[in-house]
């Protein structure tokens, strides 16, 4: 990047125009100053002739003009424009489809200390970690049980999202898992946003992988996603080795066939890696930096002006004191 110097108030430079005409009057003023009055014996003669200013005193007009120029430039507020500040990543809309069916009550999700927690507890921890890792993004939550419904519409209020994620519990409505219906609802919402000219949200499905009810099968939802060119990221909380029902696409197939990424969260360590894996698979969107690092220079100019004035004052005192 090319650095540059800018002026916030360049009109102050007009005050520098009188400088050439000030040089001669200031020199005459310094030359015409008489030496300090000294007490002499009345019989001493030949000491009253005016003295010529010393060589050092000739610098006084230069210092005065330099201080004046530094003050005027400081009033113009020069600012050094440095490199561009990297812009934060642009906010994304993320649609979370979460499974709250009775199967998520199973206490078979291993923790780091060898104990087991329920799948819904693991889901809450993983979703909250995912949300907290993306503070600039907006989220919406669709809950899947016997049917699918929107728990939280798209919002940037993470406090609201966090509250409702903590309220999730398994088996709150019926005994089936309408995973196909949840996917269809999410896909329709994303398609509507795309047709409205808005960026397509990221779709992340958190489930144990079994669809046991609903009006639409996962296979039909897969065809719908491919028709709308929607990528699905799947987070599988089922025990390792579990297979989907016969005739249904697995979560890995739902992700792979739509251009997303399947993630197996077999334990908390794998669950905690979900955020990084999804971020690594996303197409990076570089935000164009618009702001540059700015360093105001007026303080240094004020210090320079003060130093020049002090130097000129010191030379005048020295001259009046009779020190050559």
* Angstrom distance (rounded) from CA 30 to CA 111: 86
pLDDT at 154: 92
Instruction: Give 84's contacts (C-beta < 8 A, 6+ positions apart).
Output: 1, 289, 290, 291, 292, 293
Residue 295's domain comprises: 4-37+52-85+291-320
pLDDT at 241: 61
Residues 113 and 141 in one domain: yes
In a domain, 182, yes or no: yes
Q: How confident is the model at residue 165 (pLDDT cuts 50, 70, 90)?
A: very high
Choose the weakest-confidence range: 99-108, 225-234, 237-246.
Answer: 237-246
Most trustworthy range by pLDDT among 5-9, 39-43, 54-58: 5-9
Most trustworthy range by pLDDT among 95-109, 261-275, 285-299: 95-109
3-state secondary structure of 290: coil
In a domain, 43, yes or no: no
Q: φ and ψ at 93, to 5 degrees?
A: -95, 130
Residues 26 and 124 in one domain: no
Whether the pLDDT of residue 151 is over 70: the answer is: yes
pLDDT at 240: 66
In a domain, 44, yes or no: no
Q: For residue 66, what are its two tokens?
A: 């330099």
Residues 19 and 73 in one domain: yes
Residues 98 and 180 in one domain: yes
pLDDT at 56: 66
* CA neighbor of 221 nearest in space, from 192, 260, 186, 252: 186
Distance of alpha carbon 246 from the chain centroid: 47
- Count of Cβ atoms closer than 10 Å to residue 283 Cβ: 5
Residues 202 and 274 in one domain: yes
Residues 178 and 256 in one domain: yes
In a domain, 47, yes or no: no
pTM summary value: 0.62
Residues 16 and 147 in one domain: no
Q: For residue 96, what are its two tokens?
A: 């979370």
* CA neighbor of 316 nearest in space, from 26, 68, 60, 29: 60
In a domain, 286, yes or no: no
User: Percent of the chain at pLDDT above 70?
Assistant: 82
Residues 81 and 182 in one domain: no
User: Percent of the chain at pLDDT above 90?
Assistant: 17
Whether the pLDDT of residue 161 is over 80: the answer is: yes
Give mean pLDDT, residues 86-96.
80
Residues 57 and 205 in one domain: no
pLDDT at 286: 60
pLDDT at 295: 87
* Angstrom distance (rounded) from CA 165 to CA 131: 10
In a domain, 244, yes or no: yes
pLDDT at 61: 86
Domain count across the chain: 2
In a domain, 45, yes or no: no
* Angstrom distance (rounded) from CA 121 to CA 110: 11
Residues 67 and 31 in one domain: yes
Geometric angle at alpha carbon 134, from 130 and 139, rounded to 5°: 80
Residues 142 and 183 in one domain: yes
Q: Are 106 and 210 in contact (CB under 8 A)?
A: no
In a domain, 42, yes or no: no
CATH number at residue 97: 3.40.50.410
Whether the pLDDT of residue 44 is over 70: the answer is: no
Q: Are 278 and 260 in contact (CB under 8 A)?
A: no
- Whole-angstrom CA distances from 60 to 26, 28, 65, 100, 144 are 9, 11, 9, 84, 85
Q: Are 257 and 277 in contact (CB under 8 A)?
A: no
Residues 156 and 140 in one domain: yes
């Amino acid at each position: 990047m090319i650095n540059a110097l800018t002026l916030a108030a360049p009109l102050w430079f007009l005050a520098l125009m009188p400088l050439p005409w000030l040089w001669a009057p200031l020199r005459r003023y310094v030359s015409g100053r008489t030496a300090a009055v000294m007490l002499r014996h009345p019989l001493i003669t030949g000491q009253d002739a005016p003295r010529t200013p010393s060589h050092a005193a000739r610098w006084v007009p230069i210092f005065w003009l330099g201080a004046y120029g530094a003050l005027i430039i400081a009033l113009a507020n020069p600012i050094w424009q440095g490199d561009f500040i990297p812009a934060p990543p642009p906010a994304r809309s993320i649609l979370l489809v979460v499974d709250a069916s009775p199967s998520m009550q199973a206490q078979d999700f291993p923790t780091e200390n060898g104990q087991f927690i329920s799948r819904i507890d693991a889901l809450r921890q993983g979703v909250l970690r995912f949300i907290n890792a993306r503070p600039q993004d907006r989220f919406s939550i669709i809950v899947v049980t016997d049917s699918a419904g929107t728990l939280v519409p798209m919002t940037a209020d993470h406090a609201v999202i966090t509250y409702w994620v903590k309220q999730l519990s398994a088996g709150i409505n019926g005994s089936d898992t309408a995973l196909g219906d949840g996917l269809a609802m999410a896909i329709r919402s994303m398609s509507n946003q795309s047709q409205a000219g808005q960026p397509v949200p990221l779709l992340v499905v958190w489930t144990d992988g079994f669809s046991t009810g609903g009006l639409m099968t996962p296979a039909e939802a897969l065809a719908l996603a491919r028709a709308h060119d929607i990528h699905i990221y799947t987070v599988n909380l089922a025990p390792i080795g579990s297979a989907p029902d016969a005739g249904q696409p697995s979560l890995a197939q739902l992700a792979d066939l739509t251009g997303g990424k399947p993630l197996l969260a077999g334990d908390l360590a794998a669950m905690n890696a979900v955020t990084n894996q999804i971020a690594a698979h996303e197409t990076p969107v570089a935000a164009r930096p618009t702001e540059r690092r700015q360093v105001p220079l007026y303080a240094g100019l004020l210090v320079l002006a003060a130093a020049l004035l002090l130097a000129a004052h010191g030379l005048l005192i020295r001259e009046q004191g009779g020190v050559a």
